[in-house]
Amino acid sequence: MSSVVALVGRPNTGKSTLFNRLVQSRQAIVDSVAGVTRDRNYGQCEWNGTVFSVIDTGGYVSDSSDIYESEIQKQVRLAIDEADVILFLVDGREGLTVMDEDIAALLRPCKKPVYLVVNKIDSPSNFSDQLEFYALGMDELYPVSAISGSGTGDLLDEVVKHCTNEKEEEIPEDLPKITFVGRPNVGKSSIINMLLGKERSIVTPLAGTTRDSVYTRYKGFGYDFYLVDTAGLRKKKKVEEDLEFYSVMRTVRAIENSDVCVVMCDASQGFEAQDLNILSLAQRNKKGIVLVVNKWDLVQKNSNTHLEFERRIREKVAPNNDIPILFTSVLKKQRILDVLDAAMNVYGNRSRRVPTSELNESLKQIIDDNPPPIVKDKIVRIKYVTQLPTPTPAFAFFCNMPQYIRDDYKRFLENKIRKMWDFKGAPVELYFRKK
């Protein structure tokens, strides 16, 4: 297991900028507005052959009544507990503040290496601005510029002295990514925290709490995969802030990189048009899909409520009627593990291969009994079918006149294939080619 380095400090000192530089990617959202980062963000850095993990945290604010900032305090304390080395970032341009002194007081009892990093020292004209931070009582200062990278080499030389020279265990490239998507405040972060058994993501009653896409490896109940928490997706016309735009882009990217999307909706609000748009986005990207109706405990029920709710959903998502639909309550801990089971079943369906001989043997009788409809006096004869070597299930049907195959007949064959080989929740594509 590699060592862990945590970045802590008050808001807007450049922690996420330094994090992105260390992990050599734009993994964390960066903006001039204070308080952009909320959840702990993890990445990996390699310096002179030593690999270590880096944690980016939200800006620490003491004695705040703000619902986000009180939750961020918890996240910062968790990061400090996890870390082997702590980088305490301050803003060289703004100078020493009361919040910096509060954080220094929090870190002094810590029996871990703490480095005071004075950020935004990016020119000779403000090089002396670092000197006032000696008042915090830290042994040595490290002036850096997270944007340009100046000074970070000397800092990392010191950091790696406390890191074990162990490579992180190799993660299999085929490790599934299960991404939770949906509108804001439908319970995505809550269900992930419940599955992990810890507060991995900040949860508040306010919509839009999650901003970054948060990847967490999950090992339990015989499973090993990534859980991905994402920012809620609202209608385009409601996305006004730049920060929310970046969050939406991260969510779309997470969907593109996922294997299975768990699309969550709020039972108390019903399955709305935006829920259908999100589900369609996952379908266009050829992802496996599980639909979760959360907050089911808030719905008044009779004997047919569940069946009626599911029927209305399936009418809206038609013709994709084989998507698994689960009704959960994270608050009441109802059917949470069923979501994992359904997601992994869909993942298995998405990667299923059917032997060519079995395909032809099983479909031949179906096609003979239900041949393609005659179009413009043209009789289409399907001779042969095979599964293509694609990441998601795709089948090629070879026939004499593929241009005369109607869409309803394509859906008929697709439904037969889904039913016979259990491709429930997985994307299936059919191609018709001239023999």
Q: Which domains does the chain have, with CATH numbers?
A: 3-162 (3.40.50.300), 177-350 (3.40.50.300), 356-434 (3.30.300.20)
pLDDT tens digit at each of 435 positions of the chain: 467 888 888 888 888 888 888 888 654 444 444 444 444 566 778 888 888 878 887 655 455 444 445 554 565 676 677 788 889 999 988 889 888 888 888 888 888 888 999 998 888 877 888 888 988 888 778 999 988 888 999 999 999 988 876 544 444 456 888 989 888 888 888 888 888 875 544 344 444 444 445 678 888 778 888 888 887 665 544 444 444 444 566 677 778 888 999 999 999 888 988 888 888 888 888 999 999 999 998 888 888 888 999 999 999 988 878 899 999 998 888 888 899 999 999 999 999 999 999 999 999 999 999 999 888 888 889 999 999 999 899 999 999 988 989 999 999 999 999 999 999 999 999 999 987
Report helix, strand or coil for 137.
coil
End-to-end CA distance of the chain: 55
Which ranges in 83-209 belong to alpha helices (H)?
98-107, 152-159, 188-196
pLDDT at 26: 59
pTM over 0.85: no
Reading the block at residue 50, the tokens are: 């030593």
Provide CB contacts within 8 A for 337, sequence distance 6+.
Answer: 221
Residues 250, 212 contacting (CB under 8 angstroms): yes
pLDDT at 322: 87
Provide CB contacts within 8 A for 211, sequence distance 6+.
Answer: 29, 36, 37, 38, 39, 231, 243, 244, 246, 247, 250
pLDDT at 169: 45
pLDDT at 198: 59
Q: Taking Cα atoms as reference points, which of 59, 89, 88, 87 lies closest to residue 75? A: 59
Query: Which residue type occupies 162?
Result: H
pLDDT at 252: 75
Reading the block at residue 155, the tokens are: 């800092």
75: exposed, middle or buried (C-beta count within 10 Å: 0-12, 13-18, 19+)? Answer: buried
The sheet that has 85-91: what strands, in order across it? 41-47, 50-56, 3-9, 85-91, 114-119, 141-143
The sheet that has 288-294: what strands, in order across it? 214-220, 223-229, 177-182, 260-266, 288-294, 325-327
Provide CB contacts within 8 A for 209, sequence distance 6+.
Answer: 38, 68, 184, 185, 189, 202, 203
Pairwise CA distance, residues 364 & 153, whole Å: 67
Pairwise CA distance, residues 371 & 121, whole Å: 75
Query: CA-based diameter of the chain, in Å?
Result: 91
Residue 226 β-bridge partners: 177, 217
Residues 398, 356 contacting (CB under 8 angstroms): no
